[in-house]
Amino acid sequence: MESSEPTSRTYAAVDLGSNSFHLLVARREHGELRVLDRIKDMVRLGGGLDAEGNLDPAVQNRAFACLARFGQRLRGIPQHNIRAVGTQTFRRMKNANAFLMIAETALGCSIDIIAGREEARLIYLGVSQGVAGHDGRRLVIDIGGGSTELVIGEGLETLETESLQYGCVSLTRRFFADGRINRERWDKAVNSVLAELQELRRRYLAAGWDTAIGSSGTIKAVEEICRRLGWREKDISADALALLRDRLLQFDTIDEVQLPGLTERRHPVLVGGLAMLFACFEALELDTMAVSPYALREGVLHDLLGRLEQRDPRDTTVEAFVKRYSVDRDQAERIRNVALRAFDKLAEGLFASAGYRNLLGWAAVLHECGLSVAHSQYQMHSGYLVENSDMPGFTRQEQLFLATLVRYHRRAIPGEYTDLLPTRLHEPLRTTLLCLRFACILCRSRDDEIPGFRLSGSDHRVTAGLDAEWMQSHPLTLFDLKQESAELAATGIEFRVSPSPAS
């Protein structure tokens, strides 16, 4: 027992970025996280992706090899103490689900693809863990390989989040693909970013901030170069950036660039990252920027701890939906309670992971949000709203899972209902969808006269047991339940109803 205790208090975050993959392992001690291990591998995943989203085989194999090494370090850490996230390149990747099947096997755990604004939220959370002395409102800028996140927040709460589809890898590939550097190319790169920042600029300047903080490899590299050249003791200034730009433009090609403090791994993408940072300074009228040692992986780790300790940001997101779309709270709670009771009765027989219980509960709360659009086909409107809204705290797969549940909680279930989700989510989707549809049928009258029921299942066969007298006095509900047998057949579940003592 003593040997397993440290493992149960060990947590890991895996950040699969467009330029580099990071693994952070930490242990919870006296209410704080103590870092045990950091592993970084410059995979350059984004550099291997073509315009159609196809991944170069050599880069793919490099990624799998890195994930296998990470997987060895993760062995022995409980699965619920690990979270891995994929960012911009995963969002752009064609056939991402096929890649994920092999990647998750190599890593030994699931990989969540997160949206740009969710990435921004997690970066801000990570940076906020190490900003002692920087009170008040903060602007955080994180330049990754495939995207750049910009956030304004106070404390641990974000006020503005944005993700631009430019990063050090993507800018370098677009404007300096053949390795040549000159002022004309530099200006085109900076102006392209400035155009993207135009709308954001007005909004962010109006919001204001007290301190600007930068994070991740490009910004840390720029600070180190400026320090080595004697331009700054710490942090980054607009004057130092201008000097570094002029120094960089003295070279004709990327290969010729020699700057003190510039590592071999950062060397190929510095020019794109510097152009991105230069544009951010200009658009947001920055004079100086502090540099944080923390970034996305620290945010992922702290967010994971919050979920495990019932401080889940997804609860806040769902509550905002309820208010925005005037959801009938009483009906949502009825269906949630019945759906979760059904899940608990089926969980053992159908091997449903407890991790999907929360998703089922949130789907039950959100399933009628589409009524705010129109009653006809409202389940389709609900699905659209859930799939396409910004939902802080939810990964892309979780959001698609929720959208599928609410879209198909009633009426016909098409054969392709699982197509948006990776294979590992098909089975839990089948089980949770049954629970939600069953609850919606029992609660159709929108009152509190909800019968007790038995629900048992194994090997895709599910039997619902209801009191015989109740069934006789509720012919509409009984008709719906019998119709459900035909609908659920599309999911591969054999569903039947029988008289039974209720529980």
Q: What is the pLDDT of residues 170-189, one digit of tens each?
A: 999 999 999 999 999 999 99
Closest CA to 20 of 150, 145, 168: 145
Residue 132: which pLDDT band, with cuts at 50, 70 and 90? low
Residue 248, pLDDT above cutoff 50: yes
* Per-chain mean pLDDT for the chain: 93
| Angstrom distance (rounded) from CA 391 to CA 397 | 12
Residue 246: which pLDDT band, with cuts at 50, 70 and 90? very high
* Backbone phi and psi for residue 482, each to the nearest 5 degrees, phi listed first: -70, -35
Residue 422, pLDDT above cutoff 60: yes
Contact 114, 87 (CB under 8 A): yes
Strand, coil or helix: what is 113? strand
Q: Check residue 136 and give its pLDDT.
A: 87
Q: Check residue 130 and give its pLDDT.
A: 74
Overall average pLDDT of the 117-146 stretch: 88
Higher pLDDT, 449 or 438: 438
Domains of the chain: 4-113 (3.30.420.40), 117-299 (3.30.420.150), 317-499 (1.10.3210.10)
Which residues are CB-neighbours of 394 under 8 A, at least 6 positions away? 118, 314, 317, 402
Strand, coil or helix: what is 324? helix
Overall average pLDDT of the 394-398 stretch: 93
Sheet with 10-16: strands ordered across? 32-41, 21-29, 10-16, 82-86, 111-113
Closest CA to 49 of 39, 63, 37, 35: 63
Residue 347, pLDDT above cutoff 90: no
Residue 458, pLDDT above cutoff 90: no
Helix (H) or strand (E) run with residue 222 in it: helix 217-228
DSSP state of 137: E
Residue 406: which pLDDT band, with cuts at 50, 70 and 90? very high
Half-sphere exposure of 138 (CA within 13 A, CB side): 30
Strand, coil or helix: what is 76? coil
Residue 291: which pLDDT band, with cuts at 50, 70 and 90? very high
What is 178-220 written as a DSSP string? Answer: TSB--HHHHHHHHHHHHHHHHHHHHHHHHH--SEEEEESHHHH
Q: Check residue 501 and give its pLDDT.
A: 62
Residue 1, pLDDT above cutoff 70: no
Q: Check residue 2 and give its pLDDT.
A: 37
**pTM exceeds 0.85 for this model:** yes
| Angstrom distance (rounded) from CA 277 to CA 291 | 12
Residue 3: which pLDDT band, with cuts at 50, 70 and 90? very low
Residue 135, pLDDT above cutoff 90: no
Q: What is the pLDDT of residues 5-42, one digit of tens each?
A: 456 889 999 999 999 999 999 998 877 789 999 999 99
Q: Check residue 118 and give its pLDDT.
A: 95
